[in-house]
Structure 1
Amino acid sequence: MPRVARNNTVSNEITTNNNYLENGVSISPVIPTVGEKVKIKYDGLLSKCGATHVYAHVGYGSNWDNVYDYQMTKTGTGFEVSIPVSKPGTLNVCFKDCANNWDNNSGKNYSFNVAR
């Protein structure tokens, strides 16, 4: 269980990292740490429109450093993939299907805080 700092930093990061649940996007652990794996789950627009393959397009920071596309595994509730966390700061994610349709949160992407 994360410790809550006096300024509620951890509490705020948890809230921020759960902002996308209504879009069908979640991560576990809620606050990933560099060097560990994070599981990304997706049951969003592409999944609901019948996509048979979905890729998580992942990068770090405002410049989308270390961009990589991860093929997600279809599950009974959408898609998921576990990826290594390689940089602190912000983990950015958007999703695409085989037909190159994108779910990028209306151009805002899905951004998650990463601990050191």
Structure 2
Amino acid sequence: MNTIKIKPHTYSHSIRGVKVKPMADDGKEVSIFYDGLLAKTGAGQVFLHCGYGDKNDWEKVNDIEMKQVSDGWEKTVSINTGNSLNFCFKDGSDNWDNNNGDNWAYRISC
């Protein structure tokens, strides 16, 4: 599991094509940028597969359509449950990028 620490309003460094950026000082809203494996293989659509809580027991799991931008895919999400967001990606053909089984995580430090 990759955990990323960053300052608000600045994208993190890329981990396997994934960057995150808090949109507010409290970290409860985050922009996720993806240009990983699925983007590189020409996916026509990418979905953010995400949930909250423990990395091994996700709660409130959703698939959220990402917006294609010039250099990848992007989506802003709110963290309404707890202080962690776990996520990975899938395309419209149900191909997955889950960071070799580790997924990605965004944690809000208290």
Could you state the TM-score of these two structures normalised by the residue count of structure 1? Answer: 0.76
Aligned mates of 2:105, 2:88 — CA distance in 1: 9
Q: Tell me which of 10, 14, 37 is aligned to 2:29.
A: 37
Could you tell me how far 1:115 is from its partner in structure 2?
A: 4.1
Kindly indicate whether residue 9 of structure 2 is the aligned counterpart of residue 28 of structure 1. Answer: no
Contact 1:93 1:110 in 2 (8 A): yes
Corresponding residue for residue 80 of structure 1: 74
- Using the aligned pairs only, state the percent identity: 36
Higher helix share: 1
Q: Is there any run of 5+ residues in structure 2 with no aligned partner, and where?
A: none
| Structure 1 counterpart SS, 2:105 | strand
Post-superposition, which runs of at least 4 consecutive aligned residues in structure 1 deviate over 4 A?
Answer: none
Aligned mates of 2:31, 2:82 — CA distance in 1: 16
Could you tell me how far 1:18 is from its partner in structure 2?
A: 4.3
Q: Is there any run of 5+ residues in structure 1 with no aligned partner, and where?
A: 1-11
Corresponding residue for residue 4 of structure 1: none
Higher strand share: 2
Contact 1:88 1:115 in 2 (8 A): no
Structure 1 residues 103 and 28, CA gap change in structure 2 (3 angstroms) = same
Structure 1 letter corresponding to 2:5: I
Corresponding residue for residue 55 of structure 1: 47
Corresponding residue for residue 89 of structure 1: 83
Could you state the TM-score of these two structures normalised by the residue count of structure 2? Answer: 0.79
Contact 1:31 1:115 in 2 (8 A): no
Structure 1 letter corresponding to 2:17: G
